[in-house]
Amino acid sequence: MEYMDIISYKHDGQLHRVWRNVVKLFEDSEITVLINNEVDVIDGDGRKWKTREPAVCYFFKKHWFNVICMLRKENVQYYCNLSSPYVIDKEGLKYIDYDLDIKLFPDGEVLELDRDEYDFNIKYYHYSDKIIKIIDDNMKKLLAMIDKREDPFNNSCVYSWYSKYLDLEQQEDKK
C-alpha cells in the first residue's frame, strides 16, 4: 500500500491540519482517492486526535472542493470542504481550506457549515474577488452534484473503494 499525508493550509499559508499516513487507492489526471482509517490528525494549533471511522476521501484537480465520505455503521455521511485543487509533492497531498463546508446526511439533509468563519476570513485573509467567485461557483457545482447524487455522492461507489482498501489491507497482512 502507498501511504501519504494530507496537509491542509489556510489562505495565508499557515498550517491548518495534517492527516498522517493515509492510504492512496487511486490517482489519475482528474482525481486522487485516499482512505483514512483511525489515522493520527494534527491540528495547526498542535492538538492531536485520531479519526474514528474509515473515510474515503476524494480530491479533485479541477474542482475547488474535496469530499470526505465517512463510513458509519450502516450508512455514509459526506463532508465536503470548499478548498483549492490539490497538489502532491514529497511531503504529501496539499490544499488550501476555504472554510465553507457542506454536510450530506444519510436521510438526504444538506447542511451548510462555517459560513460565519468564511465571511470573517474573506476580510481577515483578504480573499480576492476572483477567489470569492470561484468558491461561490464551486459551491453551486457541489450542491448540484449532491442533488443529482453524482459520484462520489453514491454509497455504492464509496463502498466499492472501501472494499478495495480492505482487499489491499488483507494482502498486506499476508506479507
The grid coordinates listed for 161 are 473503494
Catalytic residue among 17, 47, 115, 149: 17
pLDDT digits (tens, 9 = 90+) for 54-79: 999 999 999 999 999 999 888 999 99
Instruction: Report the share of the chain in percent with pLDDT over 70.
Output: 99
CA 16, 20, 84, 67 torsion-angle sign = negative
Contact 33, 61 (CB under 8 A): no
Against a cut of 0.85, is the pTM above it? yes
Range of the domain at 9: 2-174
Residue 79 sits in a domain of what CATH number?
A: 2.40.380.10
The answer on pLDDT for 17 being more than 90 is yes
Our answer to whether residue 17 is catalytic in this structure is: yes
Beta-bridge partner residues of 42: 18, 48
State the Cα–Cα distance between residues 35 and 27, nearest whole angstrom.
12
pLDDT interval class at 172 (50, 70, 90)? confident
Q: Report the number of distinct structural domains present in the chain.
A: 1
